[in-house]
Amino acid sequence: MRKAMMLTCCKLYISESQNALALESIEQAAKRYPEAVIINKFKDEDYNRVGYTLVSNSSTNLSIDALPLRNAVFSMVKSAFEGIDLNLHSGTHPRLGVVDHICFHPLAQASLDEVAVLAKSAAADIGSKLQVPTFLYGAAHGEGRTLDYIRRELGYFKPNAAGNQWSGALNSEFLLLKPDEGPSLLTQSKGVVTIGATKWVDNYNVPVCSTDIEVVMRIARKVSGRGGGLKSVQAMGLMHGNDSAEVACNLLDPGRVGADQVQIEVERLASEEGVTVEKGYFTDFSQEKVTELYLKSIEAD
């Protein structure tokens, strides 16, 4: 039975960590579709952000519109928009909307093309039914547009408040990019959504013992592939709390460039800047662990 399974995973990031009632409502919305299991919840109070990891078995005879993972994600997104107002949000992690980012990943026997169809279907629903500008990337986009391209075009990486904070709604209701789904004008209380389909991505953050954000940003830039550092690594230098910072990394090909290499390189670059770092941490389980936990959960049921 395990060999026949086509497991699909979705990582969904909500711009909120302090509104317990809203988060409970979001999680209850997912539980309406018990075949889609929440495997991990990572809440970061300083970033004011929560990440959820869901997994479901897509090897069924159901149509794309009836797949539990797709419907669980839509239900969570709808609940998030009902309970959270971007105008009231503030944190030290960049974001473009109440539901900042959704990404689908293939696990087990699933293919990238299959999760791309799932991502595009979810985007169509969110754009039309919830009237939120929605942008596609990765395998879900016809030209393979990248997530960081969308984010740069929409000003994602530029803090809009003192203390390197992102606070309140986006600066304008007019978007510099045309959405793939939904209206061209955004609602300030909701923002926009980015939805993609990619191979597995590890998220690994390295705490830096410095409050000099310029130093931390330099380290992040040099460790990233874009800055001439480690290939397949994206990195941001962010404040994390009032008296610390970190280099937050996306490892786009963790089998090739993993957390150990990132840790060593950040330590080397930090030493050149005269600062020290702590041991980094993952914000989610590995894809192998996610699969294992899902299989255990359905066996228990």
Q: Which residues are catalytic?
A: 93
Q: Which residues contact 271 (CB under 8 A, 6 or more apart)?
A: none
State the Cα–Cα distance between residues 290 and 51, nearest whole angstrom. 14
- The tokens describing 4, both together, are 């026949």
Of the candidates 90, 24, 55, which has an alpha carbon nearest to the alpha carbon of residue 289?
55
Closest CA to 92 of 139, 132, 44: 44
Measured between alpha carbons, how far is 47 from 39 in angstroms, rounded to an integer? 21
73: three-class secondary structure by DSSP: helix
Cα 57-62-64 angle, rounded to 5 deg: 85
